[in-house]
Structure 1
């Protein structure tokens, strides 16, 4: 079982949620001012996904759900002498429930090919609550009319919230970037019809999207925030964001007590880091470092503060955020790849390398065999090391030393009988 929508796709790149990996269909330079405007915009778009992942309760909850699924699958692989591909372990009830909760709030990802929304028609908005494994899940639903006259329901879920926010941020550096309506533009076009003041205030709409990700039902929360703040010009996005996070309390499942959102996020980060320390054998470096600058208790939220600086948002603001928070793993269509290292450290952080290798192993062993299936990290071997038969059919063997084969050797997966 995998979260199929875990990869948030932008037209020229993607971000792999939970595995801190940015892919650019272009080129990357450590000095981002040397990159083309398109590549800069794409990097910003995917970097915003990274910030959503490490700083918001929804982003962390999505990752923790993914890790539980991965951990149980890898445990099955490691503890059995014979491995059948695809691996299909019996998962815990809690993991299944968390997975179903995530899937229930992701919402609509895209329209079928050739379908388009007729924006001249009215949009009917419904907030719907349903029980998913004992948890009340609230979704916002837009009933829209397509250009062929057909009416369809669009679930405004986390995918649309995250992509709306990233596309809006991207427009601040590359205003010519274009995207399909779903998942990127539907919120903006809805606001243009019903909340024109908000539609003309990119910074404020970004902040409302970001605030909604501090809940576990971002789509419904965003629609409520738009209703509350959409036509109120006296409150800017900075104020609206902090008003929400400082007034929103969270009830603990353990004892029913209420905590502030700041306390809740701090606790979630601590639990997240403890989970990573339990999964990884490498010393915690990257994961000990990246969460500290984005805690609400630090009182400097990069996503929001950069927008409301004294000068309009520019490439210099992105550079400042990267300097403050750091970069994830980056690879490109030019076969460039760059693992992050910590300040004052010349070597890449082994904990992130291990996590990326774990994800590649997990993906390979839980995916059904197909003609185009191969190790997700095969691009690292392109050139002298690349062997098509190895990367497609037996990447766990040791004739090519790469993160996949090194990890398989460490867990003695290469010594098992593998069928499939």
Structure 2
């Protein structure tokens, strides 16, 4: 099983959740002011996904579920002398339960080709609760009519929340960027129909989307927040976000006293970093520092604060966020790639290199062989050292030194019998 990533219909870029990797179908420049407006907007869109991933409980829950699947698959690869591709390990009950709960709240990601929502018709909203592996999962359903007359139910889940937020942020730099209704525009068009004042305030809608990602049922939470704040002009997005943070019931501490959302997020980040340290052989560097600036306890929330500065959001605000939080791994359609390093070090952070290599190994060994299958990092080898047969058929061997082959060597994978 693989978690569906945010590639969806966004052809200009994508973000690989849990592996801190941005793909840009364009050119990247360290001085982002020298990039084209389209590329700036796409980079911001994917960077918002990165912030969603590292700062919110939902983003970290997605990552921990993904790592659980990857770890169990890699364990099978490492301990067996013969590897059959695709590897299909017996997964723990806990991992399967986490997967089922996650997929239950991801929601609708797209419509079938040539299907479109008829926005002239009424939309009925249904909030429903479903038991999934012993947990109560709240779902938000839009009952809509399509232009061909078909009636369909669309689940407003985490994918729509994340893409709505990222597309709205992108529009602040590139107002001409266009996206399909699902998953990008459906919430905005719904608000235009029923909450026009909120639809005209993209900053506020961004903040409501972001707040909902601090819960494990973001879609249903967003619909409730829209109902609570959609027609209230006296409360801006900044205030609404912090009202949510301060009022949210995040459970109880060991002593029975209430746990605040700020305390809960700090706890999740600490647990997450501990799990990461157990997965990787490298010491945490990049993955040790990126979570620190985005803790709610730091009292500076980049996504929200940048929107409500004294001056309107601009490329300078984006630069400030990057300066404080850092950039993840970036690769482009022009064969550019850039691993991050941490302040004071000139060499790329080994922990992220190892993590991306592990993800690539996991993807290669758990995917059925096909004619176009090759190592996902093959773009690193293009040029004099690129060998198509190597990258397609045996990237674990050592004639080309790349993250894939180096980590395979460290784990002894290149010395095993591999079939498939």
TM range (shorter): over 0.9
Judge conservation of contact 1:78–1:413 (CA < 8 Å) in 2. Answer: yes
What is the count of residue pairs matched by the alignment? 420
Which consecutive aligned stretches of 4+ in structure 1 deviate over 2 angstroms post-superposition? 4-11, 252-258
Q: 1:59: how far off?
A: 0.1
Match of 2:336 in 1: 336
Match of 1:388 in 2: 388
Q: 1:250: how far off?
A: 1.3
Q: What is the TM-score of this pair, normalised by structure 1?
A: 0.98
Q: What is the TM-score of this pair, normalised by structure 2?
A: 0.98
1:121 aligns with 2:127: no
Judge conservation of contact 2:385–2:400 (CA < 8 Å) in 1. Answer: yes
Q: What do the CA deviations read for 1:39-87 (whole angstroms, capped 9, x no partner)?
A: 0000000000000000000000000110011001100100000111111
Matches within 5 A, 1:68-107: 68-107=68-107
Q: What do the CA deviations read for 1:287-341 (whole angstroms, capped 9, x no partner)?
A: 1110000000000000000000000000000000000000000000000000011
Moved more, 255-264 or 116-125: 255-264
Match of 1:158 in 2: 158
1:269 aligns with 2:269: yes
Change (3 A) 1:45 1:87: same
Q: 1:27: how far off?
A: 0.2
Judge conservation of contact 1:9–1:15 (CA < 8 Å) in 2. Answer: no
Match of 2:259 in 1: 259
Judge conservation of contact 1:6–1:16 (CA < 8 Å) in 2. Answer: yes
CA distance in structure 1 between the aligned counterparts of 2:119 and 2:4, rounded to whole angstroms: 29
Change (3 A) 1:257 1:152: farther
CA distance in structure 1 between the aligned counterparts of 2:355 and 2:258, rounded to whole angstroms: 34
Match of 1:215 in 2: 215
Could you tell me which runs of 5 or more consecutive residues in structure 2 were left unpaired when the two chains were aligned: none
Q: 1:255: how far off?
A: 8.5
Q: 1:8: how far off?
A: 5.7
Change (3 A) 1:374 1:253: farther
CA distance in structure 1 between the aligned counterparts of 2:139 and 2:183, rounded to whole angstroms: 15
Q: 1:5: how far off?
A: 3.5
Match of 1:321 in 2: 321
Secondary structure of the 1:140 match is strand
Judge conservation of contact 1:106–1:157 (CA < 8 Å) in 2. Answer: yes
Change (3 A) 1:355 1:254: farther
Judge conservation of contact 1:396–1:404 (CA < 8 Å) in 2. Answer: yes
Judge conservation of contact 1:290–1:325 (CA < 8 Å) in 2. Answer: yes
Matches within 5 A, 1:30-69: 30-69=30-69
CA distance in structure 2 between the aligned counterparts of 1:278 and 1:37, rounded to whole angstroms: 41
CA distance in structure 2 between the aligned counterparts of 1:19 and 1:80, rounded to whole angstroms: 26
Change (3 A) 1:45 1:6: closer
CA distance in structure 2 between the aligned counterparts of 1:138 and 1:256, rounded to whole angstroms: 25
Judge conservation of contact 2:5–2:15 (CA < 8 Å) in 1. Answer: no
Match of 1:355 in 2: 355
Q: 1:385: how far off?
A: 1.1
Judge conservation of contact 1:11–1:179 (CA < 8 Å) in 2. Answer: no
Secondary structure of the 1:10 match is coil
Match of 1:19 in 2: 19
Could you tell me which runs of 5 or more consecutive residues in structure 1 were left unpaired when the two chains were aligned: none
